[in-house]
Chain A
Amino acid sequence: MADIQSLTLTETMQALERKEFSEGELNLTYQKRIAKLNDKLNVYLDIQVTKTGIPAAIKDLISTKGIRTSAGSKIIENYKPPYNATVINKLIANGVSLIGKTNQDEFAMGSSGENSAYRVTKNPWDLTKVPGGSSSGSAAAVAADMCVFSLGTDTGGSIRQPASLCGVVGLKPSYGRVSRYGAIAMSSSLDQIGPITKSVEDAAKVLEWISGPDGYDSNCSNFKFQNNTPAARTNFKFQIDLKGLKVGIPKEYFGKGIDPGVEQVIKKAIKKLEELGAEIVEISLPHSEYALAVYYIIMPSEVSSNLARFDGIRYGLTRDKFGSEPKRRIMLGTYALSSGYYEAYFKKAAQVRTLIIQDFQKAFGKVDVIVGPVSPTVAWDLGKKTDDPLSMYLSDIYTVPASLAGLCGLSVPCGFSEGLPVGLHILGKQFDEATVFKVGYAYEQATQWHLKKPEIARSLEEGDNV
């Protein structure tokens, strides 16, 4: 049998059912790994001693009753929520235990993990590189086998981008698919909670657990993702060809700005989809070049409103305890919404957002999914972009458009460039996660990339020096 920690969620559940090991052994295995690796990787901000259940890692942005939830910020350093987020209750109801709260960019603002007010999470593939962000610890925990799966949040790419940079599977569900109740709000018209996992099948399983209606999030859809339909079963067990499926490739996503090594890997992956029977169709998303500018009006505007609640009265400390990125975004948003600028910035951005959505609607008239890179580069050196906010913001250029349009998007490991993982971005129509999973699963089964593990994730024996 393979090492316990290398098993996917699905394999772990099967092994537990066959009594190959107990829940106690399962939890102990992960506890030991965390004890050995956390000081090297800074994945967890808080570790829980679990003895039963399937150990999952939870981004610190997500409220956990009685367990410190700091959002990676000093301003709520000692905050212990008096209630669980809806997704946490749903996971617990499905036999999941919370093994720890993962490190992140403060209030989910960042693309490298370096905006954490505590420690900097390292990329398990190379400890001198960033893990991506903002769900940095959640992606690194899965990559280093320090949990069975994790939850992250994605506003403009914060699940997909770190999943890509750490070589694991990450899903941003469609806007409205998963209740955000209990997730500390960053940008309410964009935020979603989603899974980071060791396989595509696992992501579908976790989505099934956490999706569905919730009276506590009025933007949450009544449509629960059903992984148990005969169609989904067929996809995951047998069908690995993509005959009849149309894959759109946006011409704007290649060329300027993309690293040539990443481009080569992505083009190979597209070729593989073609070999699997998919028809490749070139499409155009002409307004996507404006997506980042739209995002950097709408998101900070919503941030300035959401973060107004941190006044040091009901919880937390005074506003001077915000780190520099939250301050920067509050300032930007307050400026954009202030008298005399609203029309020129916020309304203009909301109009261009409509044009971006219309681009996608036109494209999805012709194709079933849209495929491209998640990130224009592989993981970069720690410290490289910290003094240049705009260059950091540009790391999200491929993930932001889908967020603005409320689409679902999956990052699937698709190879390496300069020895670091590259993720394939599969975008689907809003609420069409089933097709995105089908393509991701077919690709995953036809390749070996998802089985590759960083050196640090290798089995640890007692006394081993990693």
Chain B
Amino acid sequence: MQLTSDQVKKVAKLANLPLSEDEEEKYAGQLSVVLEYINQLNKVDTKGVEPTYNVSGNENALRSDEAESCLTQADALLNGSNITNGFFVTKGVFKEE
């Protein structure tokens, strides 16, 4: 199956991934080849088969409800590129850009 350039643009937007036009074209081709390969799964009869999402065998991993030490504010902010008054600065959420 062949991905259209519009589909690639839409997926890139959903993934918040800025792509150049060259990249859009490259990925349209390469992803189509991979999806073609993946489509062989349609040959497998999976009627009534439960999906597997986790293989740890763990259920409801709990710990005792006790306070533990955590990162200090200074440590947590250490790698941020835009810090003001002890906070991360982000883009506005409700503003149109």
Interface residues, chain A, with chain B CB atoms under 8 Å away: 78-80, 82-83, 175-176, 189, 215, 218-221, 287, 290, 292-294, 296-297, 304, 308, 311-320, 322, 324, 327-328, 330-332, 334-335, 338, 345, 347-355, 357, 389-390, 393, 404-406, 430
Contact = CB atoms under 8 A, between A and B. Distances in A.
Contacts of B67: none
B53 interface: yes
Nearest to A304: B15
B75 A82 contact: yes
Contacts of A332: 31, 34-35
A-B pairs, 10 with minimum CB distance:
A350-B51, A406-B55, A315-B79, A218-B61, A351-B46, A82-B75, A219-B56, A176-B56, A334-B15, A351-B49
Contacts of B82: 313
A320 B18 contact: yes
Contact of B57 (A79, A176, A347, A390): A176
27 contacts: A80-B78, A82-B71, A82-B76, A83-B71, A189-B54, A219-B56, A220-B56, A292-B37, A296-B38, A308-B16, A311-B16, A312-B81, A313-B82, A314-B80, A317-B81, A328-B30, A331-B11, A331-B27, A332-B31, A347-B51, A349-B41, A351-B46, A351-B50, A353-B52, A354-B52, A389-B33, A390-B34
Given A82-B78, A175-B55, A330-B17, 13 more contacts: A82-B71, A189-B53, A218-B61, A313-B88, A331-B31, A335-B3, A350-B53, A355-B44, A355-B49, A357-B52, A357-B55, A393-B34, A404-B55
A290, A335, A338 interface centre (most CB from chain B within 10 Å): A335
Contact of B55 (A83, A189, A320, A334): A189
B17 A322 contact: yes
Contacts of A331: 8, 11-12, 15, 17, 27, 31
A79 B52 contact: no
Interface in B45-97: 46, 49-58, 61, 63, 71, 75-76, 78-82, 88-90
Nearest to B46: A351
A327 B23 contact: yes
Interface residues of B, number: 49
Given A79-B79, A335-B31, A406-B56, A293 B38 contact: yes
A340 to B, nearest CB: 11
Contacts of A317: 81
Main secondary structure of the interface of A (DSSP, over half): helix
A78 B40 CA distance: 42
B56 A221 contact: yes
A50 B8 CA distance: 48
A356 B18 CA distance: 36
Nearest to A78: B79
A327 B55 contact: no
Contacts of A175: 55-56
A308 B82 CA distance: 19
Contacts of A82: 71, 75-76, 78-79
A304 B15 CA distance: 7
Nearest to A391: B33
B1 to A, nearest CB: 11
B46 A348 contact: yes
Contact of B11 (A220, A296, A334): A334
